[in-house]
């Protein structure tokens, strides 16, 4: 339904297929500004996890994934990404818009009535780049597995990526999916866990300790690698490249990625307080001053 | 009055299995998923002929619904199979978010619906599934009445884009619809014309409605019988046309009266053509163990219950 709009904006995408690290860093910084301004404007949304996963998602879309021009739901002949922890939608929307999936100005409509940028990602309004609704937690890995199985049936060698919150792994459906993917050798799937140790009610270790997540994935039969500095762009890129090299070897691949919720804004870091809270005017000014404009605000 | 002949008792789930076998041969995009109930869903032949297009998920229905949603991304047409209880209530949020809200082309195929599951008892006898599924925007809800119709419906939903809930059952029941009858989603089938009362039935209750109509005729009551296999979208025109002639209606289904076919019809009639109505359905209760026949008798879901409901509704005309 939105192909015309995409066609006009996708011209910019080819230029940035091989950006240098500094160019990616500029996107990261601008994306952080987008996230902060989006949630501030509507006084709602989830800045903490969005800021924590910014390096990951910027790297994924701008350096790692093989993407076609334009958007079609089936995504045959390109890599796919599924965001399971849908509440970090501000990050997802900013990355998609700046990649050219829809006009950057549309970030102005986040969470407003009649917008395609719903509080949590949805396909219902036809926003290009989104392939399934998420927000009710724990469902994304199953969907990613299904898409990966479809790729195998279609003899499409491209990969499927997914992102999950660590708190989200408290949902039982994940473990059904984790068991299934290993047992059925879904080795064209790379699932990343945003290991920030925080959830709405507090640190995951207080709310419901989950033990050694890497080991849990391992004993379920996954190939696991750990990225210890999930807010360092180079570490994230190296980790994703390493994960990519481990696909096609009979095991699904998991990245346990340590991040800091609220990264890039000093007063939002090391706490769960900003999981689902927007900054006020003064806080926004402070936060933006820590992340100067790089590519131009929307 | 038209006579319907039982071509030989068979189960509706075998109709599903036969439909899947045919789809396996005719539509390369159709894939089947099952949560450890292959034998119950009668899909052994599909699996034998299309091993690459079958996914054994194990006892993990939530995962099955998500995987089905994902398989559509890539152009597949997934048919999920398990009991009706595990196809709906157990996985409601997965269906709601990953399938219905996301407009995924998944066919949720559910066997062992209702009381006729029998001896396993109320833990497995879902009587709320039609309501759960019809409340989801964009979901098509179908409840077939016999082997032939279930097979035809299985073929038809593969050609329909969008999420579908296809509900069928466990026991062997009369197989009376024509073997070559094309299944049209959303189109009611007029089985018998009558002038005194309209009986609209779905699923296993359609055959009971035909028996009831025969017995009513002996009492001099002319009953119009409609087989309404699609509960959503409802064939409003067919129901309206009939009640404008007869002036009263009985709805019959193997489901709670809350949320079922009868409720859909009463809601439609209330706004378009208020009509006296009686409900043959369970009355906001769970089921229990017993044989299918015993249960249908005890919970008032057979031909006798339909006759009584007709007698009641005639006094209210």
- Cα separation of A165 and A230, whole Å? 13
| CB–CB contact B53 A153 (8 Å) | yes
The CA-based angle A218-A223-A228, given to 5 degrees, is 85
Domain B189-314 CATH class label: alpha beta
pLDDT of residue A4: 37
User: Domain boundaries in chain A?
Assistant: 21-289
For residue A142, give the nearest of B66, B102, B103 by CB distance: B66
In chain A, the residue whose alpha carbon lies closest to the alpha carbon of B138 is A124
Question: Could you report the per-residue pLDDT of A163-217, keeping only the tens digit for each?
Answer: 999 999 999 999 999 999 999 999 999 999 999 999 999 999 999 999 999 999 9
Q: DSSP secondary-structure letter at B182?
A: P
Question: Could you report the per-residue pLDDT of A117-166, keeping only the tens digit for each?
Answer: 999 999 999 999 999 999 999 999 999 999 999 999 999 999 999 999 99
Contacts of A144 in chain B (CB under 8 A): 70
| CB–CB contact B73 A147 (8 Å) | yes
Average pLDDT, chain A: 94
Phi, psi dihedrals of residue B253, rounded to the nearest 5°: -160, 155
Q: DSSP secondary-structure letter at A273?
A: T
* Closest Cα in chain B, distance from residue A294 (Å): 35
Residue B194 has pLDDT above 50, yes or no: yes
Residue A19 has pLDDT above 70, yes or no: no
Contacts of A154 in chain B (CB under 8 A): 74-75
Residue B285 has pLDDT above 60, yes or no: yes
Contacts of A183 in chain B (CB under 8 A): 58
Q: Which whole-number Å values give the CA distances from A47 to A287, B132, B197, in the listed order? A: 11, 35, 62
Exposed, middle or buried: residue B178 (CB in 10 Å: 0-12, 13-18, 19+)? Answer: exposed
Q: How confident is the model at residue A230 (pLDDT cuts 50, 70, 90)?
A: very high
Q: What would the mean pLDDT of B76-94 be, rounded to a whole number?
A: 98
* Residue positions counted in chain B: 317
* Residue of B49, B61, B119, B254 marked catalytic: B61
Q: Which whole-number Å values give the CA distances from B191 to A221, B214, B225, B314, in the listed order? A: 56, 12, 5, 20
Residue A3 has pLDDT above 50, yes or no: no
| CB–CB contact A142 B67 (8 Å) | yes
State CA B15 to chain mean position distance.
13
B123, B170, B207, B185: which is closest to B292 by C-alpha? Answer: B170
Residue A12 at interface with chain B, using a CB cutoff of 8 Å: no
In chain A, the residue whose alpha carbon lies closest to the alpha carbon of B104 is A132
Contacts of A167 (CB under 8 A, 6+ apart): A198, A199, A200, A204, A207
- Cα separation of B317 and B315, whole Å? 6
B10-173 and B189-314 share one fold: yes
The CA-based angle A141-A147-A153, given to 5 degrees, is 140
| CB–CB contact A143 B75 (8 Å) | no
pLDDT of residue B1: 84
Question: Could you report the per-residue pLDDT of B61-72, keeping only the tens digit for each?
Answer: 999 999 999 999
Residue A139 at interface with chain B, using a CB cutoff of 8 Å: yes
Q: To which residue do tokens 């006798």 refer?
A: B304
ipTM, two decimals:
0.96
Question: Could you report the per-residue pLDDT of A31-57, keeping only the tens digit for each?
Answer: 999 999 999 999 999 999 999 999 999
User: Domain boundaries in chain B?
Assistant: 10-173, 189-314
Q: To which residue do tokens 């990343």 refer?
A: A192
Q: Which whole-number Å values give the CA distances from B61 to A106, B12, B66, B83, B98, in the listed order? A: 37, 22, 9, 10, 13
A30, A15, A90, A71: which is closest to A274 by C-alpha? Answer: A90
Residue A5 has pLDDT above 60, yes or no: no
Question: What is the token pair recorded at A152?
Answer: 């195998």
Residue A11 has pLDDT above 50, yes or no: no
pLDDT of residue B74: 96
pLDDT of residue A10: 38
CATH of segment(s) A21-289: 3.40.50.970
Q: What would the mean pLDDT of A16-25 be, rounded to a whole number?
A: 77
| CB–CB contact A147 B103 (8 Å) | no
- Strand B107-111 and strand B164-167: the pairing is parallel
| CB–CB contact A75 B94 (8 Å) | no
Asked if B13 contacts B149 with a C-beta cutoff of 8 angstroms, the reply is no
Contacts of B96 in chain A (CB under 8 A): 136
Residue A6 has pLDDT above 50, yes or no: no
The count of other CB atoms within 10 Å of the CB of residue B194 is 21
Q: What would the mean pLDDT of B275-279 be, rounded to a whole number?
A: 98
Using only C-alpha atoms, chain B has a radius of gyration, in whole angstroms, of 19
The count of other CB atoms within 10 Å of the CB of residue A105 is 9
Architecture per CATH, B10-173: 3-Layer(aba) Sandwich (3.40)
pLDDT of residue B135: 98
- B61 a catalytic residue: yes
Residue B161 at interface with chain A, using a CB cutoff of 8 Å: no
């Amino acid at each position: 339904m939105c192909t015309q709009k995409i066609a006009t904006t996708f011209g910019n995408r080819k230029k940035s297929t091989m950006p240098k690290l500094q160019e990616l860093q500029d996107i990261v910084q601008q994306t952080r500004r987008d996230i902060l301004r989006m949630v501030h404007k509507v006084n709602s949304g989830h800045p903490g996890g969005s800021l924590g996963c910014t390096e990951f998602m910027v790297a994924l879309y701008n350096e790692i994934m093989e993407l076609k021009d334009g958007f079609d739901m089936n995504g045959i002949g390109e890599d796919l990404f599924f965001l399971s922890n849908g509440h970090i939608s501000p990050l997802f929307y900013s990355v998609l818009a700046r990649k050219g999936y829809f006009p950057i100005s549309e970030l102005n409509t986040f969470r407003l009535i009649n917008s395609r940028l719903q509080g949590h990602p949805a396909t219902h309004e036809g926003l290009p780049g989104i392939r399934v609704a998420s927000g009710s937690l724990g469902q994304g890995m199953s969907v990613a597995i299904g898409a990966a199985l479809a790729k195998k049936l279609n003899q499409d060698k491209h990969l499927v990526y997914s992102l999950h919150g660590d708190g989200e792994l408290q949902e039982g459906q994940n473990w059904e999916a984790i068991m299934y993917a290993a047992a059925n050798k879904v080795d064209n799937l790379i699932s990343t866990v945003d290991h920030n140790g925080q959830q709405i009610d507090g640190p995951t270790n207080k709310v419901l300790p989950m033990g050694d997540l890497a080991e849990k994935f391992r004993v379920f039969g996954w190939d696991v690698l750990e990225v210890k500095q999930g807010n360092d762009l180079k570490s994230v890129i190296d980790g994703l490249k390493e994960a990519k090299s481990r696909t096609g070897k009979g095991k699904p691949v998991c990245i346990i990625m340590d991040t800091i919720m609220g990264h890039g804004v000093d007063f939002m870091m090391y706490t769960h307080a900003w999981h689902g809270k927007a900054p006020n005017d003064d806080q926004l000014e402070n936060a933006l001053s820590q992340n100067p404009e790089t590519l131009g605000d929307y | 009055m038209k006579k319907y002949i039982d071509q030989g008792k068979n189960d509706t789930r075998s109709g599903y299995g036969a439909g899947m076998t045919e789809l396996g041969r005719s539509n390369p995009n159709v894939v089947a998923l099952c949560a450890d109930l292959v034998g119950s869903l009668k899909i052994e032949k599909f699996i034998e002929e299309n091993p690459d297009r079958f996914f054994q998920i194990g006892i993990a229905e939530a995962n099955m619904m998500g995987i089905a949603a994902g398989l559509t991304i890539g152009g597949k047409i997934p048919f999920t199979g398990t009991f009706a209880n595990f196809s709906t209530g157990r996985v409601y949020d997965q269906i709601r978010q990953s399938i219905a809200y996301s407009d995924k082309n998944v066919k949720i195929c559910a066997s062992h619906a209702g009381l006729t599951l029998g001896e396993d008892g109320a833990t497995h006898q879902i009587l709320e599934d039609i309501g759960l599924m019809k409340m989801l925007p964009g979901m098509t809800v179908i409840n077939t009445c016999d082997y032939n119709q279930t097979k035809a419906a299985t073929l038809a939903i593969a050609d329909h884009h969008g999420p579908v809930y296809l509900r069928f059952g466990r026991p062997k029941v009369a197989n009376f619809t024509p073997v070559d009858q094309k299944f049209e989603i959303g189109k009611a089938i007029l089985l018998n014309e009558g002038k005194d009362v309209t009986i609209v039935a779905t699923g296993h209750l359609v055959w009971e409605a035909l028996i009831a109509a025969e017995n009513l005729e002996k009492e001099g009551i002319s009953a119009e019988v409609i087989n309404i296999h699609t509960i959503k979208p409802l064939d409003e025109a067919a129901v309206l046309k009939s009640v404008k002639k007869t002036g009263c209606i009985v709805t019959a289904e193997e489901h709670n009266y809350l949320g079922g076919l009868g409720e859909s019809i009463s809601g439609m009639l209330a706004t378009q053509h208020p009509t006296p109505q009686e409900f043959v359905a369970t009355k906001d209760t769970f089921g229990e163990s017993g044989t299918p026949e015993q249960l249908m008798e005890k919970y008032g879901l057979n031909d006798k219950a339909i006759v009584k409901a007709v007698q009641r509704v005639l006094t209210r005309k």
